């Protein structure tokens, strides 16, 4: 894949502050697949391609981590394999996979490198967001790009001022997973209206933004989740939609896809599911890493292989049960979220709160399983070349995502069970 390499600056060529700006490798668009090839991509085909790419992702994982961004060869391979068409509407040449099919396809990639799995899952399901936007935006963007690679930045929200033909948007957002290989950016900003501030969802080219190099972290390093900034950026009216209807899968653009159940499912469960896939992949990978390690690991001062000792056996067994249970919970959540397409508000809200809590619980199981496995890995765990320590650091950072705050999720669920309204925006 060739790419357009850009250090994003203001129109006068200078950074708007003394901060270091990141060099974004925006796709050049010469690696899109022919339409007839895309239509031959089934969930089975893409899952097989994901498994075939695991050695490449594993080989490049350390390089991606050290570069603090996805390796270009890896990202090119993902694009050429066809993964990013999964949530593009059929009307625009996409596949419209179900959430559970999405899980089947993406878990193998996450097993090889959870950070790459995280970025790929986000960029993939963010195409779902575009289907919520007005028809003109969908035709404009998907007419140029069969799919987009775009982060979705939310906090802190920006500010948008209505002007003739659109909005002037300003903001600096954190956690832009996917921005380092992006061509578009989704961003949320508050708009002053007659009834008070309302959250709008905007989309604009990556080339219109500054990407600020701040991603120095102890886990999920390869995601390159840097900050994004725009100042008085004009965004046309058709490239904005109100967040509230989209959160329920009722954005104005879904009328373009009347036969599709996918775009009428709620936003947050789909986001939470996509972000949980790397956690499941990391836990499954660690089970296999430890299984192999125990067959050859001999404790100093003994002649006993660790695989023959009860304690490592129990840890391996317990962790595998946690991981497989988490997968069952996530599959149930994927099906339940998809079925919510048929449920309108206000009945939808308590159900999506419940699903979010279940997904958060599953991610907690994956994190706990990896901790249990690491207890039997020995001192070699701490070499940076050991994939288990990377999985441990990655899942610790993943689990800090707001949607996996199980205390908040369970409180929201308890309130819903008692007939009380949500007391947090993440619902």
* pLDDT, tens digit, 9 for 90 and up, residues 245-262: 999 999 999 999 999 999
263-302 pLDDT per residue, tens: 999 999 999 999 999 999 999 999 999 998 888 765 655 6
Q: How far apart are CA 284 and CA 110, in angstroms?
A: 9
Q: In this model, does residue 60 exceed pLDDT 80?
A: yes
CA angle 59, 276, 386 (to 5 degrees): 30
Q: How far apart are CA 365 and CA 322, in angstroms?
A: 6
CATH, domain range 152-242: 2.40.110.10
* pLDDT cut 70: percent of the chain above it: 93
In the chain, CATH 1.20.140.10 sits at 265-417
What's the sign of the alpha-carbon dihedral 203, 205, 209, 214? positive
* pLDDT cut 90: percent of the chain above it: 84
| Residue 321: CA count within 13 A, CB half-sphere | 6
Q: In this model, does residue 14 exceed pLDDT 50?
A: no
Q: In this model, does residue 17 exceed pLDDT 80?
A: no
Q: Is CATH 1.20.140.10 the right assignment for the domain spanning 265-417?
A: yes
* Residue 144: per-residue pLDDT: 92
By the 8 A CB rule, do 109 and 53 touch?
yes
Q: How far apart are CA 391 and CA 253, in angstroms?
A: 38
Q: How confident is the model at residue 379 (pLDDT cuts 50, 70, 90)?
A: confident
Q: In this model, does residue 25 exceed pLDDT 90?
A: yes
* Residue 13: per-residue pLDDT: 42
Q: In this model, does residue 62 exceed pLDDT 60?
A: yes
* Residue 262: per-residue pLDDT: 97
Give the count of beta carbons closer than 10 Å to the beta carbon of residue 384: 11
Q: In this model, does residue 195 exceed pLDDT 80?
A: yes
Distance of CA 210 to the CA centre of its chain: 21
What is the rounded average pLDDT for all residues in the chain? 92
In the chain, CATH 2.40.110.10 sits at 152-242
Q: Which runs of consecutive H residues, i.e. helices, occur in 375-399?
A: 387-398
Q: How far apart are CA 285 and CA 114, in angstroms?
A: 9
* Residue 311: per-residue pLDDT: 87
- Average pLDDT value for residue range 188-217: 95
- From 3.40.50.740, 3.40.50.300, 3.40.250.10, 1.10.540.10, which CATH number describes the 23-144 domain? 1.10.540.10
**Distances, alpha carbon 16 to alpha carbons 186, 211, 231, in Å:** 21, 11, 9
Lowest pLDDT segment from 31-40, 232-241, 242-251, 304-313: 304-313
SS3 content of the chain, % helix, strand, coil (to 5): 55, 15, 30
Q: How far apart are CA 234 and CA 254, in angstroms?
A: 25
Give the count of beta carbons closer than 10 Å to the beta carbon of residue 20: 12
Q: In this model, does residue 7 exceed pLDDT 70?
A: no
Q: Is 170 exposed, middle or buried (0-12, 13-18, 19+ CB in 10 A)?
A: middle
Q: In this model, does residue 38 exceed pLDDT 70?
A: yes
Rg (CA), the chain: 22
Q: How far apart are CA 276 and CA 47, in angstroms?
A: 17
* Residue 15: per-residue pLDDT: 52
Q: How far apart are CA 77 and CA 26, in angstroms?
A: 15
Residue of 29 and 4 predicted with greater confidence: 29
- Average pLDDT value for residue range 99-109: 97
By the 8 A CB rule, do 417 and 243 touch?
no
C-alpha torsion 202→208→212→218, nearest 10? 50
Residue (of 158, 217, 211, 134) closest to 180 by Cα position: 211
* Residue 10: per-residue pLDDT: 37
Q: In this model, does residue 9 exceed pLDDT 50?
A: no
- DSSP one-letter code for 83: G
* Residue 309: per-residue pLDDT: 84
Q: Which runs of consecutive H residues, i.e. helices, occur in 242-302?
A: 243-247, 267-294
Model-level pTM?
A: 0.93
- Average pLDDT value for residue range 333-360: 96
């Amino acid at each position: 894949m060739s790419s357009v390499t850009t250090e994003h600056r203001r129109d006068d060529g200078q950074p708007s502050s003394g901060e270091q700006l990141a060099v974004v490798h925006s796709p050049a668009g010469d690696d899109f697949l022919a339409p007839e090839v895309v239509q031959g991509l089934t969930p089975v085909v893409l899952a097989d391609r994901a498994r075939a790419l695991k050695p490449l992702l594993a080989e490049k994982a350390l390089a991606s981590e050290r570069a603090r961004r996805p390796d270009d060869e890896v990202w090119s391979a993902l694009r050429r394999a066809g993964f990013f068409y999964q949530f593009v509407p059929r009307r625009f040449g996409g596949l419209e996979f179900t959430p559970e099919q999405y899980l089947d396809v993406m878990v193998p990639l996450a097993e090889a490198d959870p950070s790459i799995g995280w970025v790929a899952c986000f960029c993939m399901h963010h195409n779902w967001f575009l289907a919520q936007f007005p028809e003109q935006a969908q035709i404009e963007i998907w007419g140029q790009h069969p799919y987009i690679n775009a982060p979705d930045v939310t906090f802190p929200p920006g500010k948008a001022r209505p002007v003739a033909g659109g909005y002037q948007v300003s903001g600096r957002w954190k956690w832009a997973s996917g921005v380092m290989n992006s061509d578009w950016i989704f961003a949320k900003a508050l708009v002053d209206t007659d009834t008070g501030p309302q959250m709008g969802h905007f989309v604009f080219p990556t080339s219109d933004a500054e990407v600020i190099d701040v991603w120095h972290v102890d886990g999920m390093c390869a995601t390159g989740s840097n900050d994004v900034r725009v100042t008085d950026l004009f965004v046309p009216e058709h490239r904005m939609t109100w967040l509230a209807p989209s959160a329920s899968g009722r954005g104005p653009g879904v009328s373009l896809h009347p036969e599709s159940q996918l775009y009428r499912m709620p936003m947050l469960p789909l986001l939470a599911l996509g972000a949980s896939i790397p956690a499941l992949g990391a836990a499954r990978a660690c089970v296999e890493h430890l299984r192999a390690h125990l067959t050859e690991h001999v404790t100093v001062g003994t002649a006993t292989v660790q695989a023959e000792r009860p304690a490592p056996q129990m840890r391996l067994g317990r962790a595998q049960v946690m991981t497989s249970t988490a997968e069952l919970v996530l599959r149930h959540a994927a099906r339940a979220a998809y079925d919510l397409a048929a449920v309108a508000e206000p009945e939808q809200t308590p159900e999506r709160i419940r699903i979010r809590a279940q997904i958060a619980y599953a991610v907690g199981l994956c994190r706990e399983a990896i901790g249990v496995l690491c207890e039997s890995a020995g001192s070699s765990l701490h070499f940076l070349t050991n994939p288990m320590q990377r999985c441990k650091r990655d899942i610790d950072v993943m689990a800090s995502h707001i949607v996996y705050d199980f205390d908040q999720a369970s409180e929201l669920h308890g309130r819903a069970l008692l007939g009380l309204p949500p007391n947090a925006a993440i619902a």
